[in-house]
Amino acid sequence: MRYVETTPMLINGELVQAASGKTLDSVNPATEEVIGRIPAGGPADVEAAVAAAARAQVEWAKTEMDERAARLRAVAARVAERADEILQLEVRDTGNTISKMRGDVGMGIKVLEYYAGLGLELKGSTIPASQDHLHFTLREPYGVVGRIIPFNHPVMFALSRMAAPLMAGNSIIIKPPEASSLSAGILAEICRDELPAGLVNIVTGTGAEAGAALVRHRQVKRLAFIGSVPTGLAIQRAAAEVCVKHVSLELGGKNPMIIFPDVDPEVAATAAVSAMNFAWQGQSCGSCSRLLLHEDVYDEVLRRIVEKTEQLIIGDPLDPQSQMGPMNSRMQLDKVEHYVRTAHEDGARLMTGGERPEGRQFERGYWFKPTVFAEVTPQIRIGHEEIFGPVLSVFRWSDEQEALRIANSTEYGLTAAIWTNDLNKATRMMRGVKSGYVWINGFSAHHLGTPFGGMGNSGLGREEGIEELLSYTENKTVHIKL
């Protein structure tokens, strides 16, 4: 296995190390081996990146849409060329299984191409406000955008979330997740080769140093964050202390999947297990980690879920046969173990898992078995707090109002999945759930072009559709006296 010497950051079109010279170790969560190092960027690096980004943005905003699109497509093409290299590194760095992570790289490319085609949608409007004027609006870029990314899909988020701000005429500074930043080094090389110097800057490092410096920089008027609710709140507070900023937040979830009794138990069980996203060890904001089973099918569906969960193949995430890898970090593993302890204390019934797997292969690494708890209620901790791990909480319900009460009983409101063949019931539930993204007889899939984002504390703003593109612009209203 190749050891990655310290990956570069990208500042002003150059591959650089942190000004402080400090680095952070990157650990393979499957083996606990140090597999590389990343620069521990800090305020000085953010300062240099913002200065470069501000300079580059002036020219970029004058660049024709065709040219902007061509540059994004060139990045996408280079990523496609190096897809396998990125994939191997990303899997070793995150612990996510290779068969699913292939889709992550593909999605990054697809989103770049999608936004590359949307430039001419950056339209203003004309308003018939008076006869003696021409009134219209223009969409202008914010300038320098800061993008902070979580550990579960590092390369996908870095690629896909640079597309809209760039297409809208902004420059950008990306802060990758410190636990899984190795792939950002490859992106740094690609962006250096394909984009004007300073347009995309990548500053690695911790949230407390690199992240906080970006949040608190006055010239970064537009901030976009994907991560946990506590960090999102901290970012809103810190940003507000500095100046007025447009902050968008894609935060955590504790997503309900509601199963009605008319659904075939086998179909329901298969969907529930798939919707846990065990291929990411449940470390997915969209995992349906709360399963609400109607009492008539509760025992039958639960039995099948336990059977299916126990058949999942846990193993080397680089092996295409593996259906589950290790948790991303020691911290994530500790968090999962903490929640399993609370579940026992709070009286939930362990159906399967709840411990680390046994065997030589699992002696090192942050492994945990896929876990199912039954008889969960909204009051207990695993009933309403996001674990971000492979733990499914199963609830029982008997009437629709009760199902809705349970579904809406957390601070979150990211996604919901409703399963029934009755259109009226599905529609009533869809209207009742406080979630930003709802599947009826589906789960997990993101359909490009459809806005994704959360209600409640799950977020602010929508990504993955035209709204995301427009959110990187400010309206300027103009009145021409005739």
Residues that bind ligand NAD (CB under 6 A): 148-152, 175, 177-178, 206-208, 211-212, 215, 226-228, 231, 234-235, 250-253, 285, 386, 388, 414, 454, 459
Distance CA 62, CA 300 (A): 62
CB of 366 to ligand NAD, least distance (A): 14
SS3 133: strand
Tell me whether residue 104 or residue 250 sits nearer to ligand NAD (CB atom).
Answer: 250
Take residue 299 and report the two structure tokens written for it. 């025992």
Tell me whether residue 206 or residue 270 sits nearer to ligand NAD (CB atom).
Answer: 206
Q: What are the phi and psi torsion angles at 110 (to 5°)?
A: -60, -40
Tell me whether residue 58 or residue 240 sits nearer to ligand NAD (CB atom).
Answer: 240
Q: What are the phi and psi torsion angles at 274 (to 5°)?
A: -65, -40
Say whether 355 is catalytic: no
> Are 7 and 203 spatial neighbours (Cβ–Cβ below 8 Å)?
no
Give, in degrees to the nearest 5, the angle at Cα 265 between 264 and 268: 90
Say whether 285 is catalytic: yes
CB of 137 to ligand NAD, least distance (A): 29
Helices (H), 61-175: 65-81, 83-94, 98-116, 154-167
Q: Which of 178, 194, 285, 288 is catalytic?
A: 285
Tell me whether residue 265 or residue 383 sits nearer to ligand NAD (CB atom).
Answer: 383
Tell me whether residue 31 or residue 458 sits nearer to ligand NAD (CB atom).
Answer: 458
Distance CA 252, CA 458 (A): 5
CB of 259 to ligand NAD, least distance (A): 23
CA nearest neighbour of 328 among 7, 18, 101? 101
CB of 237 to ligand NAD, least distance (A): 9
CB of 286 to ligand NAD, least distance (A): 7
CA nearest neighbour of 222 among 164, 305, 292? 164
CB of 464 to ligand NAD, least distance (A): 9
Q: Which of 194, 250, 463, 468 is catalytic?
A: 250
Exposure class string for 343-375: b at 16+ Cβ within 10 A, else e: beebebeebbbbebbeeeebeebbbbbbbbbbe
Tell me whether residue 29 or residue 177 sits nearer to ligand NAD (CB atom).
Answer: 177
Show which residues are catalytic: 250, 285
